Amino acid sequence: MQPNPETDELAALLAGLPRIELGPAREARILAALQRAAAPRGRWWVRGVPLWQAAAACVAVAGLTAAAFWTTVPRATGDRIGDPSPRLEAGAGDAPVVVRLDAPVFSHRSRPPPIDVSRWRLLGPDP
Amino acid sequence: MTAADGGGAGDATAWAAVYLAHRRALTAYALALTGSADDAADLIQDVLVSLLARPRECRAPRAFLLGCLRNRAIDLRRRAAARPARPPPETAGVEPVFLSSDADDMAVRETVMRVQAALRAAPPTQREVIVLKIWGELTFAEIAELLARPQGSVASDYARGLAGLRAVLTAEETHAAQS
């Protein structure tokens, strides 16, 4: 743009007109807000964590705990927590039942293979 | 200035220094955008704090901050209108309310009032360019980038706006001298 003395003169006149200032109080408020925003955050429970984030964290922790429990705790064949206890078969009397396990069913980190207990029977006396 | 190292006390100090160095230009433009000193202070504070939360590279802080003020003011205006789908306004709607008419000198007070009236009568696009050039102290290139307009168009608006302003002021002076 070509310099124009008249335009420059008018621009200088306009630039020299008095302006409204924000004032020390408002400027101090701006600077204080800047310092506050830059200050290290406080404890996590006063940071204002959004409710949905807290809920999502709880659900995730519960899911991981349940998964860890179901994959690491050894259990008997196919039973579930809360199932009724098995009843004694007729004729078993009060004689102790001895069971010999030929397979390492409790050493699995994952879910043990199902065992067919329908063919189990009482063993004779231990030699 | 580089403010991309992450929000913290260092950035706060840097932005505070930028604000103090350019506060006259920032205040004038924020006042022109909002119309009141309280709203202007809120706007400036809002922009500076948001810059701490999202640090970014910034080589020309004054032009960058004026652009942030403009964008934030348009956002707030659009939100207040509760019509989010509305296209962005052509201008940010600046008003020459940052000029003080409380001067002790009577002649200065009259000049301020005449300039305010003449600026209000100017087309909004020309008014915004004049405010950014004279009181925002930006170059034509910076204004063009801020307004997303060609530099030639911005310079032409500035020249036409000042010519119109001069015509109005001269006519008023002549009228005052005759009466």
CA-based nearest residue in chain A for residue B35? A20
Q: Which residues pair with B2 in a beta bridge?
A: B57
pLDDT at B3 over 50: no
Tokens representing B147 are 């307004």
**Length of chain B measured in residues:** 179
Mean pLDDT of the B80-103 span:
68
Which of B68, B110, B154, B162 is the mutation pick for testing A, counting most A CBs within 10 A? B162
CA angle B89, B93, B94 (to 5 degrees): 150
Higher-scoring residue by pLDDT: A99, B156: B156
Strands B56-57 and B2-3: antiparallel
Given B49, B112, B166, which is nearest A6 (Cβ)? B166
The answer to ipTM > 0.85 is no
Identify the band that residue A94 occupies on the pLDDT scale cut at 50, 70 and 90: low
Confidence band of B2 (pLDDT split at 50, 70, 90): very low
Which of these, B175, B168, B56, lies nearest to B113 by C-alpha position? B168
Q: Which residue has the higher pLDDT, B154 or A2?
A: B154
Tell me the mean pLDDT in the region A47-71.
87
- Chain A residues within an 8 Å CB radius of B115: 14, 17
- Whole-number pLDDT of residue B129: 92
What's the average model confidence in pLDDT over B98-122? 83
Chain A environment of B16 (Cβ under 8 Å): 31, 34-35
| Percent of chain A predicted with pLDDT > 70 | 55
Strand-pair partners of B57: B2
DSSP code, position A115: -
For residue A27, is pLDDT > 70? Answer: yes
Q: Does B133 touch chain A (CB under 8 A)?
A: yes
* Test mutation, B18, B27, B116, chain A, max A CBs within 10 A: B27
**Complete DSSP assignment for A10-78:** HHHHHHTS-B----HHHHHHHHHHHHHHHSPP--GGGS---HHHHHHHHHHHHHHHHHHHHHHS--STT
Q: What are phi and psi of B137, to 5 degrees?
A: 55, 40
Q: What is the mean pLDDT of residues B158-177?
A: 83
Chain A residues inside the 8 Å CB shell of B130: 14
How many cross-chain Cβ pairs, A to B, lie less than 8 Å apart? 98
Q: Is the dihedral of CA A87, A91, A92, A94 positive or negative?
A: positive
The pLDDT value given to residue B4: 38
Q: How far apart are CA B125 and CA B127, in angstroms?
A: 5
- Closest chain B CA to residue A7: B162
Instruction: Give pLDDT tens digits for B43-88.
Output: 999 999 888 877 667 778 889 999 999 999 988 888 877 665 555 5
Q: What is the DSSP letter of A119?
A: G
